[in-house]
Amino acid sequence: MDAIAMSVGIARLGQVAVNVKDIERATAFYQDAMGLKLLFKAPPGMAFFDCGGVRLMLSRPEKPEFDHPSSVLYFAVPDIHGAHSKMKATGVHFEDEPHLLAKMPTHDLWMTFFRDSEENLLALMSEVATSKVAP
Protein backbone atom coordinates (compact mmCIF):
# COMPACT_ATOMS: atom_id res chain seq x y z
CA MET A 1 0.00 0.00 0.00
CA ASP A 2 1.44 3.40 -0.88
CA ALA A 3 2.00 6.22 1.62
CA ILE A 4 -0.98 8.29 0.48
CA ALA A 5 -3.45 5.42 0.85
CA MET A 6 -2.01 4.59 4.27
CA SER A 7 -2.29 8.19 5.46
CA VAL A 8 -5.91 8.47 4.33
CA GLY A 9 -6.75 5.13 5.88
CA ILE A 10 -8.21 3.36 2.84
CA ALA A 11 -8.39 -0.32 3.69
CA ARG A 12 -10.79 -1.81 1.14
CA LEU A 13 -13.54 -1.06 -1.34
CA GLY A 14 -16.70 -0.53 0.70
CA GLN A 15 -19.49 -0.11 -1.84
CA VAL A 16 -20.15 -0.22 -5.57
CA ALA A 17 -23.17 1.45 -7.17
CA VAL A 18 -24.95 -0.01 -10.19
CA ASN A 19 -27.49 2.05 -12.12
CA VAL A 20 -30.86 0.40 -12.70
CA LYS A 21 -34.09 1.47 -14.36
CA ASP A 22 -36.45 -0.96 -12.57
CA ILE A 23 -35.37 -1.51 -8.95
CA GLU A 24 -37.72 -4.44 -8.28
CA ARG A 25 -36.67 -6.30 -11.44
CA ALA A 26 -32.98 -5.65 -10.70
CA THR A 27 -33.36 -6.68 -7.04
CA ALA A 28 -34.93 -9.96 -8.12
CA PHE A 29 -32.11 -10.57 -10.63
CA TYR A 30 -29.26 -9.99 -8.16
CA GLN A 31 -31.02 -11.96 -5.42
CA ASP A 32 -32.51 -14.85 -7.41
CA ALA A 33 -30.28 -15.29 -10.48
CA MET A 34 -26.97 -14.37 -8.85
CA GLY A 35 -27.71 -15.53 -5.32
CA LEU A 36 -26.46 -12.40 -3.55
CA LYS A 37 -27.75 -11.73 -0.04
CA LEU A 38 -30.13 -8.76 0.12
CA LEU A 39 -29.06 -6.65 3.09
CA PHE A 40 -31.80 -4.01 3.00
CA LYS A 41 -33.88 -1.70 0.84
CA ALA A 42 -34.01 2.06 1.37
CA PRO A 43 -36.16 4.79 -0.11
CA PRO A 44 -36.31 6.10 -2.71
CA GLY A 45 -35.66 2.95 -4.73
CA MET A 46 -32.38 1.54 -3.48
CA ALA A 47 -31.39 -2.05 -2.67
CA PHE A 48 -28.17 -3.15 -0.98
CA PHE A 49 -26.53 -6.57 -1.27
CA ASP A 50 -23.55 -8.22 0.38
CA CYS A 51 -20.90 -9.28 -2.11
CA GLY A 52 -18.14 -10.84 -0.05
CA GLY A 53 -17.97 -7.93 2.38
CA VAL A 54 -18.39 -5.23 -0.30
CA ARG A 55 -21.81 -3.62 -0.43
CA LEU A 56 -23.45 -3.55 -3.86
CA MET A 57 -25.99 -0.73 -4.19
CA LEU A 58 -28.66 -0.80 -6.89
CA SER A 59 -30.34 2.54 -7.52
CA ARG A 60 -31.90 4.72 -10.18
CA PRO A 61 -29.61 7.52 -11.38
CA GLU A 62 -30.19 10.73 -9.43
CA LYS A 63 -29.37 13.04 -12.35
CA PRO A 64 -29.37 12.65 -16.16
CA GLU A 65 -25.56 12.81 -16.30
CA PHE A 66 -25.41 9.69 -14.09
CA ASP A 67 -27.75 7.69 -16.36
CA HIS A 68 -25.29 5.33 -18.06
CA PRO A 69 -24.32 1.66 -17.82
CA SER A 70 -22.20 0.64 -14.87
CA SER A 71 -18.54 -0.28 -15.00
CA VAL A 72 -17.96 -3.98 -15.63
CA LEU A 73 -18.07 -5.78 -12.30
CA TYR A 74 -16.13 -9.05 -12.10
CA PHE A 75 -17.67 -11.48 -9.60
CA ALA A 76 -15.16 -14.05 -8.34
CA VAL A 77 -16.46 -17.63 -8.11
CA PRO A 78 -14.60 -20.83 -7.18
CA ASP A 79 -16.21 -22.90 -9.99
CA ILE A 80 -16.92 -20.82 -13.09
CA HIS A 81 -18.45 -23.71 -15.03
CA GLY A 82 -20.84 -24.58 -12.20
CA ALA A 83 -21.82 -20.94 -11.61
CA HIS A 84 -22.35 -20.42 -15.35
CA SER A 85 -24.62 -23.49 -15.56
CA LYS A 86 -26.69 -22.50 -12.51
CA MET A 87 -27.15 -18.91 -13.67
CA LYS A 88 -27.94 -19.95 -17.25
CA ALA A 89 -30.62 -22.30 -15.87
CA THR A 90 -32.30 -19.27 -14.22
CA GLY A 91 -32.45 -17.48 -17.58
CA VAL A 92 -29.34 -15.29 -17.37
CA HIS A 93 -28.13 -14.24 -20.85
CA PHE A 94 -24.42 -14.90 -21.29
CA GLU A 95 -22.37 -13.20 -23.98
CA ASP A 96 -20.00 -16.17 -24.20
CA GLU A 97 -19.01 -19.44 -22.57
CA PRO A 98 -16.45 -19.68 -19.74
CA HIS A 99 -13.03 -19.40 -21.35
CA LEU A 100 -9.39 -19.37 -20.34
CA LEU A 101 -8.18 -15.78 -20.45
CA ALA A 102 -4.62 -16.12 -19.17
CA LYS A 103 -2.19 -18.63 -17.71
CA MET A 104 -0.56 -17.06 -14.66
CA PRO A 105 2.38 -18.43 -12.64
CA THR A 106 0.15 -19.95 -9.93
CA HIS A 107 -3.31 -20.09 -11.52
CA ASP A 108 -5.34 -19.98 -14.72
CA LEU A 109 -7.70 -17.00 -15.10
CA TRP A 110 -11.13 -17.89 -16.49
CA MET A 111 -13.90 -15.45 -17.49
CA THR A 112 -17.41 -15.34 -18.88
CA PHE A 113 -19.55 -12.25 -19.50
CA PHE A 114 -23.29 -11.75 -19.02
CA ARG A 115 -25.96 -9.06 -18.82
CA ASP A 116 -28.06 -8.22 -15.80
CA SER A 117 -31.77 -7.42 -16.02
CA GLU A 118 -30.89 -3.78 -16.81
CA GLU A 119 -28.45 -4.68 -19.65
CA ASN A 120 -25.33 -3.84 -17.61
CA LEU A 121 -22.36 -5.97 -18.69
CA LEU A 122 -21.00 -8.12 -15.83
CA ALA A 123 -18.56 -11.00 -15.58
CA LEU A 124 -17.78 -14.10 -13.61
CA MET A 125 -14.10 -14.77 -13.01
CA SER A 126 -12.32 -17.74 -11.52
CA GLU A 127 -8.69 -18.13 -10.55
CA VAL A 128 -8.04 -21.84 -10.84
CA ALA A 129 -4.90 -23.00 -9.04
CA THR A 130 -2.41 -24.88 -11.17
CA SER A 131 -0.19 -27.59 -9.83
CA LYS A 132 3.44 -27.33 -10.80
CA VAL A 133 5.21 -30.57 -11.64
CA ALA A 134 8.81 -30.72 -10.44
CA PRO A 135 11.35 -31.14 -13.29
N-terminal to C-terminal alpha carbon distance within the chain: 36
Work out the angle at residue 96's Cα, subtended by the Cα atoms of residues 68 and 37, and round it to the nearest 5 degrees: 60
Identify the pLDDT of residue 29. Answer: 97
Work out the angle at residue 106's Cα, subtended by the Cα atoms of residues 105 and 111, and round it to the nearest 5 degrees: 95
Identify the pLDDT of residue 1. Answer: 52
The dihedral over CA atoms of 91, 68, 110, 95, expressed in degrees to the nearest 10, equals: 40
> Is 121 a member of any domain?
yes
> Is 1 a member of any domain?
no
Range of the domain at 18: 13-62+69-129
Q: Rounded to whole angstroms, what are the CA distances from 63 to 66, 100, 106?
A: 5, 39, 44
Identify the pLDDT of residue 4. Answer: 57
- Cα–Cα distance, 33 to 89 (Å, whole number): 9
> Is 102 a member of any domain?
yes
What CATH number should be reported for the domain holding residue 73?
3.10.180.10
> Is 93 a member of any domain?
yes
pLDDT tens digits, 19-66:
999 999 999 999 999 999 999 999 889 999 999 999 999 999 888 888
> Is 83 a member of any domain?
yes
At 93, is the secondary structure helix, strand, or coil? strand
> Is 88 a member of any domain?
yes
> Is 106 a member of any domain?
yes
Asked whether the predicted pLDDT for residue 134 surpasses 80, the reply is no
Structural domains in the chain (count): 1
> Is 22 a member of any domain?
yes
pLDDT tens digits, 79-106:
999 999 999 999 999 999 999 999 999 9
